[in-house]
Amino acid sequence: MGINLLYPEYEVARNMDRCINCRVCERQCANEVHSYDKEKKIMCSDDSKCVNCHRCVALCPTRALKIVKTDHTFKENANWRGSIINEIYKQAESGAVLLSSMGNPNAYPVYFDKILLNASQVTNPSIDPLREPMETKVFLGSKPNSIQRDKDGKLVNNLSCGIELSVPIMFSAMSYGSISYNAHESLARAAREAGILYNTGEGGLHKDFYQYGSNTIVQVASGRFGVYKDYLEAGAAIEIKMGQGAKPGIGGHLPGTKIVGDISKTRMVPEGSDAISPAPHHDIYSIEDLRQLVYSLKESTNYTKPVIVKIAAVHNVAAIASGIARSGADIISIDGFRGGTGAAPTRIRDNVGIPIELALASVDQRLREEGIRDNVSVVVGGSIRNSSDIVKAIALGADCVYIGTAALIALGCHLCRSCHTGKCNWGIATQEPELVKRLNPDMGYKRLVNLVSAWKHEIKEMMGGMGINSIESLRGNRLMLRGVGLNEKELQILGIKHAGE
Amino acid sequence: MIWRYFVTPLPTKLDESQLDEREFTARCVMKINKGIEGAYVFSSGKNMGVFKAVGFPEDVGEFYKLYEYAGYCWTAHGRYPTNTPGWWGGAHPFALLDYSVVHNGEISSYDTNRRTIEMHGYKCTLLTDTEVITYIIDYLNRKVGLTLEEIAGVVAAPFWQVIDNMPQGEKEKYSYLRKAFSSMLITGPFSILAGFEGGIMALNDRLKLRSMVIGEKDDMFYAASEECAIRVLEENLDRVWSPKGGEAVIATLNRGVL
């Protein structure tokens, strides 16, 4: 091996006046950054191993630690930035594809931050959610095209099966394998408590979690891991995963080293063998094949479960969504290019796909122009960061949002973007028993419930301010939005006016 | 310039379109309103006329020679424009075919409702919330086939907590209406009078953010935002009451007040 040309990106700053050599940091760090120098009787650190996950910082009893970005720098260069040079060093060393985790961190525009909400003044009273009912309940699923009456003239319930949610939020797909048992348990229990749904991802459903079936979306992805009759029947809905915002166009790969014990059983993959999800579904090469799979899943569950089709937001997303809306699917889920992942090739994550705000606006508009918006519900994900993002997404036309990264942050994730190493110090994206037990599901689920209920309160406040007392009157209500600092084309695609108009 | 024509669809054109007469007429109205700049069809009903103007009510009545007309149902609306300058075309009622709506309020669900109704062939050209309410009533009644009472359950749907406590049959009905037509829920303050062939419906928003009073005297039915408006016409009423928010009061020619 040649000289390591990399200087660590982060440095562990240890205040030696405060350090009491308790060695908590050493025990807490799965990356083995910290060590005790017996001769000098001081704690040392190897910055090169630090992923900046803040575990040691959070647990240091004397606040002796912090992580700082190194001020070591290459000669300033706006083109050949340090990160680019470092990546070349890494690839020259390894000959391999660069891997990353979580969502695209680059400085692309965040349209949610350039959209502002309306509020009532004078002519239309704002509504106080503490005094008046404020409804956030939503139903996802297709709407009937016509009514039917029985012989007495009573309306016949011809609604297809759907999903009922207390608030338009669901936990997005994260497989058991990519995240830990305890993380899954937290999500499942929180979904039940909060009256929403979580999603198994493509890792199958652990036997222990069948009890949360009515709050579970079971996913069918290209690898078909863990898919069998009981699994399909266990959930409240079935999601066909065609794509993922973090890595549109490619499949997935869970290395054999992670296929152990329960994960092997749940995925139905022999221990130690790699779980490869192909890039396409090998039985779906066009829209008519998708329709077949949608109806195969409906048939096998006796038409009792709505089917969601999840796609990544790509250039032609509106036309693709239009096809899906005619395929028999009840719900379309669109994942923006900032969506998270347990592992993705860096180049794909950082360069493929489009922002969810633009994808959502164009899908909603296209479905309306074609008169088929009511055939499906639209769920969006791919970096929904807070309750105002949700309100804006719904006003742009979404029925509901998926949150993944935000849910993990609620569980303690510090967005160090190192999930692919499997050494998550917070017990989330790891399968090492010692690390997994750091996440206590009894506390984890409460934090998730807190997050959802806090956001629910905020959504109600914003709705009330706009004089809207039911979430369905917010859906697609683009007059409630104004852009700031957006050009004509962006405003046109978003279907909103500029502030001041 | 106001022109008044009495027209029927050309039978050959009507046959060719393979539409019923009302749908054909409604599409013509949309076509003119959308396609001909500055031209709007304000009245397109049979046995239903709409008269609009800016001015004092008595002058408007005289201008249109209202004393020459007889009718079993009248709605009048003096408008204090909420947030637009007064324009005679913006005066209520808004009408399509035999549906007319006068509306006091400002709805916060406008763009949701507009974008939904435009999926069904309507074009909102007048940019007021009353127009969209008219189209929703036309769509739900004429095209979908809901009764007026059911329409009230859509546009001023009961809250879920109310629906959950209803007897089973009612619960199923209102739950179905809310789920199936969720984008046609109207929020924000409104009190509307919807005229239709054979009667009139009075309806408030479900929080009752605008007032609405009903008066009855023998076989006459009065509905107004303010009681004083009714008293001007009839001092000695048999009954005066305010319907609850979201509670539709429907008066029909032969079946009385529902």
DSSP string, B41-71: -----SS------SS-HHHHHHHTTGGG---
In the block, which residue shows the tokens 């999930």?
A: A419
Q: Which pLDDT belongs to residue B83?
A: 65
A388 inside domain: yes
In the structure encoding, which two tokens stand for residue A9, read together?
């990106």
Q: Which pLDDT belongs to residue B256?
A: 62
Amino acid sitting at position A194:
A
- Domain count across chain A: 2
In the structure encoding, which two tokens stand for residue A158, read together?
């011809």
Span B214-233, pLDDT tens digits:
999 988 999 999 999 999 99
Q: How far is A172 from chain B (nearest CA, A)?
A: 24
Q: Would an 8 Å CB–CB cutoff place B38 in contact with chain A?
A: no
Cα B175 to chain centroid distance, Å, stands at: 24
A184 inside domain: yes
Q: Which pLDDT belongs to residue B3?
A: 82
Size of interface A-B (CB pairs under 8 A): 99
Contact B110 A479 (CB under 8 A): yes
Span B239-251, pLDDT tens digits:
999 999 999 999 9
Contact A468 B160 (CB under 8 A): no
Percent of chain B scored above 90 by pLDDT? 70
One domain for residues A46 and A179: no
Contacts of B13 (CB under 8 A, 6+ apart): B24
Three-class SS of residue A296? helix
- pLDDT of residue B89 exceeding 90, the answer is no
Residue A347 CB neighbour total at 10 angstroms: 12
Q: Would an 8 Å CB–CB cutoff place B189 in contact with chain A?
A: yes
Q: Which pLDDT belongs to residue B258?
A: 59
In the block, which residue shows the tokens 């978003």?
A: A494
Domain chopping of chain B, boundaries: 71-257
A326 inside domain: yes
Percent of chain B scored above 70 by pLDDT? 97
Contact A146 B108 (CB under 8 A): no
Arithmetic mean of pLDDT, B146-153: 95
CB-based contact A111:A489 (threshold 8 Å): no
**Average pLDDT over all residues of chain B:** 91
CB-based contact B53:B60 (threshold 8 Å): yes
Q: Is the peptide bond before B93 cis (omega within 30 degrees of 0)?
A: yes
Span B172-184, pLDDT tens digits:
999 999 999 999 9
Pick B189's closest partner by Cβ from A125, A144, A478: A125
Residue A154 CB neighbour total at 10 angstroms: 12
Which chain A residues touch B171 with a CB distance below 8 Å?
Answer: none
Contact A135 B160 (CB under 8 A): yes
CB-based contact A6:A48 (threshold 8 Å): yes
d(CA B101, CA A253): 61
Which chain B residues touch A464 with a CB distance below 8 Å?
Answer: none
Which chain B residues touch A469 with a CB distance below 8 Å?
Answer: 187, 206-207
- DSSP count for chain B of H helices, then E strands: 9, 9
In the sheet that holds A400-403, the strands lie side by side as A169-171, A400-403, A377-381, A331-335, A307-312, A237-241, A216-220, A198-199
Q: How far is B218 from chain A (nearest CA, A)?
A: 31
Q: For A359, which DSSP code?
A: H
Q: How far is A396 from chain B (nearest CA, A)?
A: 10
Contact A123 B82 (CB under 8 A): yes
In the block, which residue shows the tokens 């009507």?
A: B14
d(CA A69, CA A342): 24
Pick B146's closest partner by Cβ from A120, A147, A472: A147
In which band, very low, low, confident or very high, does the pLDDT at B73 lie, cut at 50, 70 and 90?
very high
**ipTM for the predicted complex:** 0.91
A123 inside domain: no
Nearest one of A379, A387, A361, A396 to A478, comparing CA atoms:
A396
d(CA B166, CA A77): 69
A127 inside domain: no
- Binding site for [4Fe-4S] cluster, residues of A? 19, 22, 25, 29, 50, 53, 56, 60
- pLDDT of residue B255 exceeding 80, the answer is no
d(CA A204, CA A174): 10
Domain span at residue A82 reads: 10-96
Q: Which pLDDT belongs to residue B56?
A: 87
- Exposed, middle or buried, B167 (CB in 10 Å: 0-12/13-18/19+)? exposed
**Minimum Cα–Cα distance from B175: chain A residue:** A157
Span A375-432, pLDDT tens digits:
999 999 999 999 999 999 999 999 999 999 999 999 999 999 999 999 999 999 999 9
Contact B176 A474 (CB under 8 A): no
Q: How far is A211 from chain B (nearest CA, A)?
A: 26
Residues 107-126 of A with CB under 8 A from B: 120, 123-125
Which chain A residues touch B149 with a CB distance below 8 Å?
Answer: none
Below-50 pLDDT ranges, chain A: 1
In which band, very low, low, confident or very high, does the pLDDT at B55 lie, cut at 50, 70 and 90?
confident
d(CA A439, CA A185): 10
Contact A155 B173 (CB under 8 A): yes
Cα A62 to chain centroid distance, Å, stands at: 35
Q: Would an 8 Å CB–CB cutoff place A147 in contact with chain B?
A: yes
Percent of chain A scored above 70 by pLDDT? 100
CB-based contact A495:A361 (threshold 8 Å): yes
CB-based contact A429:A180 (threshold 8 Å): yes
Q: Which pLDDT belongs to residue A430?
A: 93
d(CA A324, CA A329): 6
Q: Which pLDDT belongs to residue A226?
A: 92
One domain for residues A175 and A85: no
In the structure encoding, which two tokens stand for residue A16, read together?
């030696």
d(CA B121, CA B75): 27
Pick A467's closest partner by Cβ from B150, B182, B187: B187
SS3 letters for A78-137? CCCCHHHHHHHHHHHHHCCCCEECCCCCCCCCCHHHHEEECCCCCCCCCCCCCCCCCECC
Q: What is the CATH number of the domain that holds A15?
A: 3.30.70.20
A296 inside domain: yes
Q: Which of B84, B104, B109, B129 to mutate to test the interface with A (most CBs of A within 10 A)?
A: B109
CB-based contact A47:A12 (threshold 8 Å): yes
Q: Which pLDDT belongs to residue B254?
A: 78
Which H helix or E strand runs over A363?
Answer: helix A356-369
Three-class SS of residue A357? helix
Contact B180 A144 (CB under 8 A): yes
Strands A400-403 and A169-171: parallel
Three-class SS of residue B248? coil
**Minimum Cα–Cα distance from A134: chain B residue:** B159
In the structure encoding, which two tokens stand for residue A163, read together?
């999903």
Nearest one of A134, A201, A144, A210 to A170, comparing CA atoms:
A201
In which band, very low, low, confident or very high, does the pLDDT at B257 lie, cut at 50, 70 and 90?
low
One domain for residues A292 and A213: yes
Q: Which pLDDT belongs to residue B81?
A: 67
CATH class held by domain B71-257 = alpha beta
